[in-house]
Structure 1
Amino acid sequence: MRNLTDGSIFSFSATFVFTILPNRSPLRYSTGDGIAFVLSPNTSFRNVPTYDGTMIGPHSPDPDDYYKVMSHLLGLNNYGGAFGLLGPNDNGNSSNNLLCIELDTLYNEEFADIDDNHVGIDINSLNSSRSSPAGYYTDNPFSDLHPLRLSSGREMQVWIDYDHGLMQLNVSLVPIHMPKPKHPLLAHNIDLSQVFLDHMYVGFSSSSWDNHGYFILGCSFKVNGKAAPLNYSKLPKANTTQFSAFGGVLSRRMMVGRLVAFVAALGSGGMFVVIMFITLGVRRYYRYREIREDWELEFGPHRLSYKDLFHATDGFKDKQLLGAGGFGKVYKGVLPSTKVEVAVKVMSHDSKQGMKEFIAEVVSIGRLRHRNLVQLLGYCRRKGELLLVYEYMSNGSLDKHLYDLEKPSLGWAHRYEIIKGVASGLLYLHEEWEQVVIHRDVKASNVLLDCEMNGRLGDFGLARLHDHGVEAHTTCVAGTRGYISPELARLGKATKATDVFAFGAFILEVACGKRPIAVNSLGEPIVLVDFVLKFWQNELIVCIIDPRLGGEYVEEEAELVLKLGLLCSHPSPVGRPSMRLIMQYLSGDVPFPEMSDDYLNIRSISELQVDGGFSEEDVQCPSVQTSITCLSGGR
């Protein structure tokens, strides 16, 4: 599968027709694995483990056989099947070099199966990287999943396509004679160059506890091209005469194939066990059930499975909690398939109100690439929750370093570089990407520090996009009190200028080590920009610099940051500079202009109170949405 000239992996395409006969065993609780399409470096698959050197069979003299089989069914030792591929010590080993497309008719809790009738993509493991209940989507963009029962005895066709250039693996399933769907059942972004060796075998494998009959009626496979279509008129029919009471067979029409037939006598009392077994399967299904709608098919690999995120975060346990705010909780995790560290933000949502447009924007934002932005990796929806997945930043959020007295204070050089980094990221969002991105929640807690303490703007959960040269259409007040501009609070219209206002509050916060809005000992609100303005008017502006710096700062840079913060806080959006001009000021390419009191025209906090700008509740609850009309923003 590997090009020996340059070491690249070949693309490939496969299609096959199969039949799995219904269970006809007199042991009603018996079951079989299903069929696996396999690419493997060899054909010496692992055998089913034994207990005493012999296979458990219907005539075994050992009276304990019943309990051993029950242990298999209940997941105490699940390697009695495993499609005949992996032994108990092999699952998940990268040395397996195994790709498996499973048509699974056995619910197995140890492998985190979603149910007993699903299709899965397995990489070196029988824990699927992607899985879905068996079925297909029509070409109607609003189609629901049309379910199929794999073990119904119907003839069905599977297509498996891997595009190495796009690193995209697609799997489709339909009843025979139906055309290949435009929307695959499964889509997975995966670089198989990390899996395949120079030479690989292609074929089928399975194992069975009972009398399931497995038939591959025809198969086509091609490297670097589309698999040839199958001639349905020449396909054989499933031969049930080959199908015994306690076994299973694969048709002879296979490329490289293997069946491990495992038979068992279950004795009396088996019905109790099968009821328990099915109940476990149903509970597992509901545990990982997600919201999936047809329009999400176009977003493909950006949709991450809830099962992966559940296991990545150790079940969203408190020990994995990184933080919580008005819009949800954030958990640390490690994706099981790639071992990439991530931060998973769990938010509540109403799937009926603009969710399609919101997800489209989330996926678009996932294409942003800038050194000062935290990359959004994907999303998931489950019940009333929306989960956003970001790359993990090892040094946490900037506000922890500003206010946590147990952490060493950031030096001025670090603070200045963080300010310039965030400005660079906002310039990219506003002017340099293919669309305009309005972040809508610029603040210190949303600036994360990577392993080198570089500042990276994150949390795009409130971000909105629009085309260049077109006005934004947001009419909802969103953001954090202290960073919301007056016009946003009044009109609910987010623009590039509202991001600039939030950036102004942010850089004053970084320089002064004080929150944009605080409360004094008398319970009165204190607005940071008012303090900076008074110090500037008395020509003492640098005296408000964070005392934790111990006087160690560059005076010219500190004065520039404070004055720039005031300029960005101008009550009128047309009075604020653009992010490009801000970057030029910070880089020293353009001298900072002189400012007058009349130009700033900033009202005092008492005037804001007269106008109804603050309420007692607003001051006491700094982490909730509000619509305050004031200079220093809403929240």
Structure 2
Amino acid sequence: MFVKFVVLFLLLWGSIASQLNDIGFTYNGFGGVNMGLDGLAQITDNGLLLLVNTTKQQMGHAFYPHPLHFMSSSTGSVFSFSTTFVFAMFTQFTSIGGTAMAFVMAPSKKFPGASPAGYIGLFNITTVGNSSNHVIAVEMDTIKSPEFNDIDGNHVGIDINDLKSAQSAPASYFSDQENRYVNLTLFSGQAMQLWVEYSGPQKQLNVTLASIDVPKPTIPLLSLNIDLSPIVVDPMFVGFSSATHTFDVHNYVLGWSFKMNGKAKELTLSQLPKLPRFGPKKKSKMFSVGVPVIVVTLLLVFIFIIQFIVKTKKKFAEVLEDWESEYRPHRFKYRDLYIATKGFKNNELLGTGGFGRVYRGVLPRSKAEVAVKRVSYNSTQGEREFVAEIVSIGKLRNRNIVPLLGYCRRKGELFLVYDFMPNGSLDKFLFDQTTIGKMLNWNQRFRIIKSVAAALLYLHEEWEKIVVHRDVKSSNVLIDKEFNGRLGDFGLARLYDHGTVPQTTHVMGTLGYLAPELCRNGKANPSVDVFAFGIFLLEVACGRRPIEPQASKECVLLVDWVLSSWGKGMILDTVDRKLGMNYEVEEIELVLKLGLLCSHSIPNARPYMRQVVRYLEGEVPLSDITLLGLSTTTNDKTLVSLGSTVTRSSSVVAESVLSGGR
């Protein structure tokens, strides 16, 4: 029992000793700090530690109130320690100097009989140089004392029991940027920072000085190889001592940090108290020089402002034609979009496509995040029709569609404004290697597929007009923050009334998603979107783009590859390998087969989107009988698909038309 008690006591004592040995403190200013003060030393109202003031031939001391143990009881050597402080010294009598201060380690906070001036309030004529002093000091001295072999009246020195420095150097620091030493004037009244670091194992004492506005230099000003064990007695006090020689002297410490057995914590310079103004107040030259300068400056500023206003108005000038008056609620100001996108900077660029560049923006008034598509458009009549259709499409309201908020028209350019989708477009998740950590699983992909199908059903059949999107593809499917898919980018969309026939003859869209009949008649109808949706289904399930030029000849076109694999009974071999086996076989087979059916080269063989939605929701099964028209075993009919020629049987194609009507 006694042995256990002893062991427990030793462990507890070791823990306490370790904590004592690792003591540290940091003062970013001295407001409310308990310091041992005597002489002229005081703490000012704003937290400055003032060591001496204007009184001649006086001194002041300021010490940490508690003694510190520097010696290891087991080895008898001095611990490593580190300290840093910010100080400022000022004297009006710069020609003769007149002040000195020092960081001090001593057995006592009191120095009876010590003299001011050159003795820095530490020694007198009889005690200076005695080995019994056990005093270690780093002096910042502006007095050249021949009796102490001072090198000049502006130096830093390491003092051991004496004021004849063991090592000293002119006040300066090594500039790492300029690769040279930069001189400093100690009594300038400018704040400076000093570091004192002792390595117990290496028995080396380093002193580094720098202006407060530069980082700590890599090369110290002083480096002394010394074993402090014979000088140090336990315990010791640490603090500052200062003395005056002439009138009008001020020595301050702004902040102080100390650490035993470690690196002193860096001072937070922005939190340090402000120094008072030193020296006489400068005479104002306002009336002799300032007034003319101010008048000329104001005149130049006025001219600059006028030029800026004229240039800005010209830069943001917009033409609002009469025919646009009815669309005014849907029109954005170019200035707002310019500010929102930070001037359409590349840093805000979300992506670039064949029909424009898309930028992220934050509207200056509402602070709403938007995506702004910038499209060049030159035909006046075409532009008028385009704007009319864009405003109409802006009325679409469906949770599976990215809302089109409005437009802006300026100098041959159109700007389309959409709600911003934080997760970007679907193609990034399918093909961009940098997003592999965010790969979509099958459940997410299937949910996105159904969302896009529902969006197309709404556009084709459920809104007041028929909207043909004309550019359905993975890069135009946006992912919201809940990872739901939304169909976006209606820059190519066309709409017409139910029961009418579309008259557009422009072939527009993206290579790989274009229905074959567009190359013949150029007329866009819902069947064109169904074809592109079929390619989209294969793209999502296979994790492959519609066209892969680097693939083997039979695999260049995604639809041909899947069709060939289906004919061989190996359709699951086309599934995206990144999914592994983590998918529902029935669902992925449905998607692949439905993709082939929707991308059929014969428009009448493609299902309507309502039928597609019913297949995806499992309301109607997709049987292999329905897909017989895709068989590649006969060859008496030419089928154009994505620019390739595949021979098909006309009799079999006829059988592929969906039963049950449209």
Q: TM-score range by the shorter chain?
A: 0.5 to 0.7
Alignment of 1:187-586 (within 5 A): 270=299, 274-407=302-435, 408=437, 409-520=439-550, 526-586=556-616
> Does the residue aligned with 1:440 lie in a helix, a strand or coil?
coil
Q: Which has the larger radius of gyration?
A: 2
CA contact (8 A) 1:571 1:601 kept: no
- 1:517 deviates by 1.1
- 1:597 deviates by 6.8
Structure 2 vs 1, CA of residues 286 and 417 (structure 1 numbering), >3 Å: closer, same or farther? same
CA contact (8 A) 1:530 1:604 kept: no
Structure 2 vs 1, CA of residues 612 and 530 (structure 1 numbering), >3 Å: closer, same or farther? closer
Residue type matched to 1:475 in 2? T
CA contact (8 A) 1:438 1:499 kept: yes
CA contact (8 A) 2:614 2:620 kept: yes
Q: Equivalents in 2 of 1:416, 1:427: separation in Å?
A: 17
- 1:352 deviates by 1.5
Q: Equivalents in 1 of 2:612, 2:551: separation in Å?
A: 36
Q: Equivalents in 1 of 2:448, 2:412: separation in Å?
A: 36
Q: Equivalents in 1 of 2:624, 2:497: separation in Å?
A: 34
Residue type matched to 1:457 in 2? L
Matched residue, 2:629:
599
Residue type matched to 1:372 in 2? N
- 1:405 deviates by 2.0
Residue by residue over 1:500-531, the C-alpha shift from the partner in whole angstroms, topping out at 9 and shown as x without a partner, is: 00000001000000011111257887111111
Matched residue, 1:52:
none
Q: Kindly report the root-mean-square deviation, in angstroms, between the aligned alpha carbons of the 2 structures.
A: 2.8
Q: Equivalents in 2 of 1:335, 1:347: separation in Å?
A: 19
CA contact (8 A) 1:517 1:527 kept: yes
Structure 2 vs 1, CA of residues 541 and 609 (structure 1 numbering), >3 Å: closer, same or farther? closer
CA contact (8 A) 1:568 1:577 kept: yes
CA contact (8 A) 1:435 1:466 kept: yes
Residue by residue over 1:130-149, the C-alpha shift from the partner in whole angstroms, topping out at 9 and shown as x without a partner, is: xxxxxxxxxxxxxxxxxxxx
- 1:473 deviates by 1.3
> Does the residue aligned with 2:326 lie in a helix, a strand or coil?
helix
Matched residue, 1:162:
none
Residue type matched to 2:338 in 1? F
CA contact (8 A) 2:548 2:556 kept: yes
Residue type matched to 1:280 in 2? F
Q: Equivalents in 2 of 1:453, 1:323: separation in Å?
A: 19
- 1:568 deviates by 0.2
Structure 2 vs 1, CA of residues 551 and 70 (structure 1 numbering), >3 Å: closer, same or farther? farther
Residue type matched to 2:583 in 1? Y
Residue by residue over 1:398-444, the C-alpha shift from the partner in whole angstroms, topping out at 9 and shown as x without a partner, is: 00000112223210000000000000000000000111100000000
CA contact (8 A) 2:468 2:526 kept: yes
> Does the residue aligned with 1:519 lie in a helix, a strand or coil?
coil
Residue type matched to 1:486 in 2? P
- 1:540 deviates by 1.7
- 1:379 deviates by 0.6
Structure 2 vs 1, CA of residues 284 and 373 (structure 1 numbering), >3 Å: closer, same or farther? same
Q: Equivalents in 2 of 1:367, 1:602: separation in Å?
A: 44
Aligned length: 357
Aligned counterpart in structure 1 of residue 619 of structure 2, from 577, 580, 589:
589
Structure 2 vs 1, CA of residues 287 and 527 (structure 1 numbering), >3 Å: closer, same or farther? same
Matched residue, 1:169:
none
TM-score by length of 2: 0.51
Structure 2 vs 1, CA of residues 358 and 603 (structure 1 numbering), >3 Å: closer, same or farther? farther
Residue type matched to 2:564 in 1? K
Residue by residue over 1:187-210, the C-alpha shift from the partner in whole angstroms, topping out at 9 and shown as x without a partner, is: xxxxxxxxxxxxxxxxxxxxxxxx
> Does the residue aligned with 1:282 lie in a helix, a strand or coil?
helix
> Does the residue aligned with 1:329 lie in a helix, a strand or coil?
strand
CA contact (8 A) 1:476 1:493 kept: yes
CA contact (8 A) 1:442 1:503 kept: yes
Residue type matched to 2:447 in 1? E
Structure 2 vs 1, CA of residues 518 and 285 (structure 1 numbering), >3 Å: closer, same or farther? same
> Does the residue aligned with 1:566 lie in a helix, a strand or coil?
helix
Alignment of 1:113-132 (within 5 A): none
> Does the residue aligned with 1:316 lie in a helix, a strand or coil?
coil
Gapped regions of structure 2 (runs ≥ 5): 1-285, 646-662
Residue type matched to 2:537 in 1? I
Q: Equivalents in 2 of 1:610, 1:489: separation in Å?
A: 10
- 1:295 deviates by 0.8
> Does the residue aligned with 1:406 lie in a helix, a strand or coil?
helix
Q: Equivalents in 2 of 1:611, 1:536: separation in Å?
A: 16
Q: Equivalents in 1 of 2:392, 2:442: separation in Å?
A: 35
Q: Equivalents in 2 of 1:528, 1:65: separation in Å?
A: 78
Structure 2 vs 1, CA of residues 611 and 535 (structure 1 numbering), >3 Å: closer, same or farther? closer
Residue type matched to 1:547 in 2? R
Structure 2 vs 1, CA of residues 597 and 336 (structure 1 numbering), >3 Å: closer, same or farther? closer
> Does the residue aligned with 1:436 lie in a helix, a strand or coil?
strand
CA contact (8 A) 2:515 2:642 kept: no
Q: Equivalents in 1 of 2:642, 2:610: separation in Å?
A: 35
Residue type matched to 2:605 in 1? G
Q: Equivalents in 1 of 2:508, 2:309: separation in Å?
A: 41
Name segments (4+ residues, structure 1) moved above 2 Å. 60-71, 272-279, 520-525, 593-598, 600-605, 607-615
> Does the residue aligned with 2:517 lie in a helix, a strand or coil?
helix
Residue type matched to 1:504 in 2? G
Structure 2 vs 1, CA of residues 364 and 66 (structure 1 numbering), >3 Å: closer, same or farther? farther
Residue by residue over 1:541-573, the C-alpha shift from the partner in whole angstroms, topping out at 9 and shown as x without a partner, is: 122110000111000000000010011011111
CA contact (8 A) 1:422 1:456 kept: yes
Structure 2 vs 1, CA of residues 559 and 69 (structure 1 numbering), >3 Å: closer, same or farther? farther
Matched residue, 2:147:
none
Q: Equivalents in 1 of 2:449, 2:634: separation in Å?
A: 27
Structure 2 vs 1, CA of residues 604 and 335 (structure 1 numbering), >3 Å: closer, same or farther? farther
CA contact (8 A) 1:570 1:602 kept: no
